[in-house]
Structures are given as structure tokens and as C-alpha cells.
């Protein structure tokens, strides 16, 4: 989903995502996480103050801690280091970049969202209710919303340039990218999920589900974009968790719930968010960052 949101005129734009403005620095990219928020694949008109900084700090923390599990694109999230490597950037207004920018290696993106689910929620729950299956994988009968799955499952989805991403089966993924690549993406995703969910459990959080992106660099896959943030994951409070709707969360479920209740038809333009929803989201994102990185 593209938008006409202002970017830096003196930098070459590589891509404008829903949340990030990505600038082209040759073999490297500058990922600038804005305070934009998306829900149901649509950018909302109301920014969430500090969200871009929180996401950047959290993703950088995970990239640092998981690089032994799966290599990733991060070079540095320190603006001074970014300017050392690219002196041409030093003249930019630091306040617009500091804390929300990551210098990364540019990769050839696999156009697939690599979702791992340890619990039943969101589109997985909707599919299960209708069919007992999620992305082609049959699950035990009698699961409730938010139930823990017998084991984490890989449930890829397409990465649509416009409109909604679509869940696909692992066979469909294999047909799209080749069997070996599909298996590799699944293996990498499950390893990252396992590492992150173990770490989060120690912080009192459940990683209900999460989405990774990978790209190839020098013939091997690396994790790109962001990992294990409240934008790309569902974080639940482990103490309060029980099967059923509305687990206590530290992610953007609060925004989704508001939008569901608002009667919006999920087609752009999205309605603005009220002040209390915005404030609460910033608070939840901050809490998540503190819990994970402390
Ligand atoms: N290392 C990298 N190499 C190439 N592309 C990258 C890299 N890291 C991130 N990207 C791409 O940069 C963009 C980041 O923007 P953002 O996270 O806002 O996108 P998105 O809205 O989540 O996804 P998209 O617009 O691609 O559907 C994404 O398109 C992502 O795939
Ligand atoms: Mg993204």
C-alpha cells in the first residue's frame, strides 16, 4: 500500500512501506521507521508518537541477539555510526533520523511473509473456525481462540503490493519459490520463533505469533525488515493468559479492536484514532520494549 507521505527530498527513495521510509545507499539501505501505524494492511491517518523509535530499538536488540541463530541485515542503528559510514548523511537534520534509523545490507527480498504461530489468533483463528485447518495444516479439534498449539506452525502469506496479504499453504509456497527455498524459509522462521519465544517467556510474555521477512545476500538468506516487534507480532501477558478472546497484550491489538468496533469496512481511507487509543498504544509499545530489553 503506497501513500503520498513526505520523504526526505535530498535522499534517493528505495521504497516507502506502510511504516518505513527506505532510502537507497547503493549496496546498503537506510530504514527510517516513522510513527505511522497500519492495521488490516491500511495506513491509519493518526501517528503513534515515538513508535518508530521504539520499533527501531526493539528490532535492533533482537537482530543483535539472534545473529547467531539466523544472520540478518543490520549494520548499525547508531546514527553517529551511520554518518561515519556515509559522511554525506551528516548534513541531514539528525533529529529526524536519530533513534529511528537502521543502516542495513540490501538483500533481494523473498516476496513472502514468513508467519509462525504458537497460539491461535487473528486470521489463523478465523480460518480454523471455518475449516479446522490453518494454511493447509490440520489442527486438533476443540481448540479455542488464543489456545496454545501442540507445536509452533509455519503459516506463510503472500506479500501483496496492494490490498491484503493472503494466507497460503506450504505447498503453495513451494510452488511459488521452489521446494528447497520454502523449506529453508520455514526452518529459519521456526528457529527465530523458538529463540524469541523462549527469551520472551523469561520476560513474562508469550509470543503468540510473529512475522519475518528474508532476503538473499551473497547466496544465503538473511533476516530483513524488522523482527519480533509489537508491529510484527502478538505479545501476550503470560500470567493473564487463558484460552478465549482478548488476551492481555502489548501490541497493536488495541487498535484492531477499536477499528473492528468502529464499523469501518477496512478499505482506505481508515478513520482517525481517538487520543486515548493513541496514548495507550504508545504506552504498550514502551512497556514491551522495557520488558524485552531490560
Ligand atoms: N535489507 C533489506 N533489503 C531489501 N528490502 C528490505 C530490507 N529490509 C526491509 N526491506 C523492505 O523495506 C520495506 C520496509 O518498509 P515497511 O516495513 O514499512 O513495509 P511494509 O509496509 O511492512 O511492507 P510492504 O510495503 O513491503 O508490504 C519493506 O518493503 C521491506 O520488505
Ligand atoms: Mg515491514
Residues around the ion ligand 2 (C-beta < 5 A): 225
pLDDT at residue number 10: 81
- 68 CA from centroid of ligand 2 (Å): 22
Cell 538473511 sits at which residue? 222
Our mutation pick for probing the ligand 1 site, out of 1, 15, 232, counting the most ligand atoms within 8 A of Cβ, is 15
CA distance 98 to 250: 24
CA distance 247 to 250: 10
Quick one: 141 exposed, middle or buried, by C-beta within 10 A (0-12, 13-18, 19+)?
A: exposed
Q: In this structure, which CATH number among 3.30.470.20, 3.40.50.720, 3.90.180.10, 3.30.470.30 belongs to the domain 109-252?
A: 3.30.470.20
**Nearest ligand atom owner, CA of 217:** 1
Strands (E), 44-110: 74-76, 101-105, 108-109
Q: One digit per residue, pLDDT tens: the chain, 294 residues?
A: 344 456 666 899 999 999 999 999 999 999 999 999 999 989 999 999 999 999 999 999 999 999 999 999 999 999 999 999 999 999 899 999 999 999 999 999 999 999 999 999 999 999 999 999 999 999 999 999 999 999 999 999 998 777 678 999 999 999 999 999 999 999 999 999 999 999 999 999 999 999 999 999 999 999 999 999 999 999 999 999 999 998 999 999 999 999 999 999 999 999 999 999 999 999 999 999 999 998
> Max Cα separation, the chain?
60
CA distance 82 to 98: 10
Tell me if 215 CB under 6 Å of ligand 1.
yes
pLDDT at residue number 6: 63
Domain boundaries, the chain: 13-107, 109-252
DSSP 266: S
pLDDT at residue number 122: 95
Asked: is 13-107 a CATH 3.40.50.1400 domain? The reply is no
Our mutation pick for probing the ligand 1 site, out of 16, 75, 109, counting the most ligand atoms within 8 A of Cβ, is 109
**Nearest ligand atom owner, CA of 42:** 1
**Nearest ligand atom owner, CA of 163:** 1
Amino acid at each position: 500500500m503506497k501513500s503520498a507521505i513526505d520523504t526526505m527530498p535530498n535522499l534517493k527513495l528505495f521504497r516507502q512501506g506502510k511504516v518505513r521510509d527506505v532510502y537507497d545507499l547503493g549496496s546498503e539501505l537506510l530504514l527510517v521507521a516513522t510513527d505511522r501505524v497500519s492495521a488490516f494492511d491500511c495506513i491509519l491517518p493518526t501517528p503513534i508518537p515515538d513508535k518508530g523509535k521504539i520499533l527501531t530499538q526493539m528490532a535492533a536488540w533482537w537482530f543483535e541477539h539472534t545473529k547467531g541463530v539466523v544472520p540478518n541485515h543490520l549494520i548499525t542503528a547508531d546514527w553517529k555510526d551511520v554518518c561515519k559510514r556515509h559522511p554525506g548523511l551528516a548534513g541531514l537534520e539528525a533529529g529526524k533520523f536519530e533513534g529511528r534509523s537502521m543502516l542495513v545490507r540490501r538483500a533481494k527480498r523473498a516476496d513472502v511473509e514468513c508467519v509462525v504461530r504458537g497460539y491461535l489468533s487473528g486470521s489463523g483463528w478465523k480460518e480454523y473456525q471455518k475449516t479446522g485447518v490453518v494454511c493447509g495444516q490440520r489442527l486438533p479439534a476443540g481448540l479455542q481462540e488464543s489456545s496454545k498449539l501442540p507445536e509452533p506452525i509455519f503459516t506463510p502469506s503472500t506479500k501483496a503490493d496492494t490490498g491484503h496479504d493472503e494466507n497460503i499453504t506450504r505447498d503453495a509456497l513451494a510452488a511459488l519459490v521452489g521446494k528447497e527455498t520454502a523449506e529453508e524459509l520455514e526452518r529459519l522462521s521456526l528457529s527465530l520463533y523458538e529463540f524469541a519465544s523462549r527469551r520472551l517467556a523469561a520476560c513474562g510474555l508469550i509470543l503468540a505469533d510473529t512475522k519475518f521477512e528474508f532476503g538473499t545476500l551473497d547466496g544465503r538468506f538473511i533476516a530483513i525488515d524488522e523482527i519480533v516487534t509489537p508491529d510484527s507480532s502478538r505479545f501476550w501477558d503470560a500470567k493473564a493468559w487463558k484460552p478465549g478472546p482478548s488476551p492481555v497484550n502489548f501490541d497493536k491489538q488495541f487498535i484492531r479492536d477499536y477499528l473492528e468496533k468502529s464499523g469501518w469496512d477496512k478499505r482506505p481511507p481508515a478513520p482517525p484514532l481517538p487520543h486515548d487509543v493513541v496514548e495507550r498504544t504508545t504506552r504498550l509499545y514502551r512497556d514491551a520494549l522495557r520488558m524485552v530489553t531490560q
